[in-house]
Amino acid sequence: MKDISQIFRLVVTTLLLIVPPILLIVYGKKYATLTWDSVITHGIFMLFGFCSFLGTAVSSFKNLPIKSRMTRKLIHVLLHTCCLVFMFIGWAQIHKITEKSHGGHGGHGDDSHDHGSEDHYLSVHSWLGVLTMTVFCLTYLFSAVLFNPYLKFIKPSIRMAAKPFHISSGIGVTVLAAAATTTGLYNYIEKYVPNVFKSSQTPALRLILSAALFVGIAFFVLMFSLGVIHPNQTGKPKVNQTQLKEVMVNETVVNS
């Protein structure tokens, strides 16, 4: 029964996380231009990275019905690595676009950036994006060292002490990614949405709806996939001391 619940959470969150980039692809084909040097393409890569891969990485480690902790950890790392790759591709795209625009070589028409590279890094969306990428890269590097089972000089006690910080940074990156996505989506809507929709909405309303959508997705993914949402659960969660000891013993065996 527990495995079924885990699979259900994993499937639901994965389907939910794959929807935003697919919707952006459909939206981009209809209202914008999907070329390599396209702002919409930048958003698609970032959404696949920080929404689909990052969210699935968080969900899979908790919900994959695989008993081997090392196997789940490997899948977790691979998904985060995919997020890292897509992140760098998305950043390289927008950096190239803004460099061309600032240098006077832009020629992307309606699909070009509204400002040069210097102004680009002064926008709220850019601040949130750079902060999200920085926190994610630092978390990725530190985790690759601290939780690497082949680095035998890292004691299990150090890993256990670092685990809450690892989880907290993962939650922080997810929330930051949702905030960056919100501001980015708002920029896309302001630029590409048909005027017929703008006539019935105010900019503030579009920003609120964008924020509600992606912050809501981030909250649902974190709470649902991590098993925090339990309709029948009452009282404070208890710490499983037996499981804690088993993890320490297993990691000690791996490092021995």
**Domain extent listing, the chain:** 2-255
Query: What predicted TM-score, i.e. pTM, was given to this entire model?
Result: 0.73
Question: What is the pLDDT of the chain when averaged over all its residues?
Answer: 76
Q: Please, which pLDDT band fits residue 75 given cuts at 50, 70 and 90? A: very high
Residues 197-239: tens digit of each pLDDT = 555 556 666 666 666 666 676 666 666 666 554 444 444 444 4
pLDDT at 132 over 90: yes
Give per-residue pLDDT as tens, 36-57.
Answer: 878 888 989 999 999 899 988 9
Q: What is the pLDDT of residue 17?
A: 85
Each residue's pLDDT tens digit, 89-128: 999 988 888 777 655 544 444 444 444 444 567 788 889 9
Into which CATH architecture does domain 2-255 fall? Up-down Bundle (1.20)
User: Between 29 and 211, where is the model more confident?
Assistant: 29
Contacts of 138 (CB under 8 A, 6+ apart): 169
The length of the chain, given as a count of residues: 256
| Residue 55 main-chain phi, psi, to 5 deg | -65, -40
- 181 or 246, greater pLDDT: 181
What pLDDT does 107 receive? 45
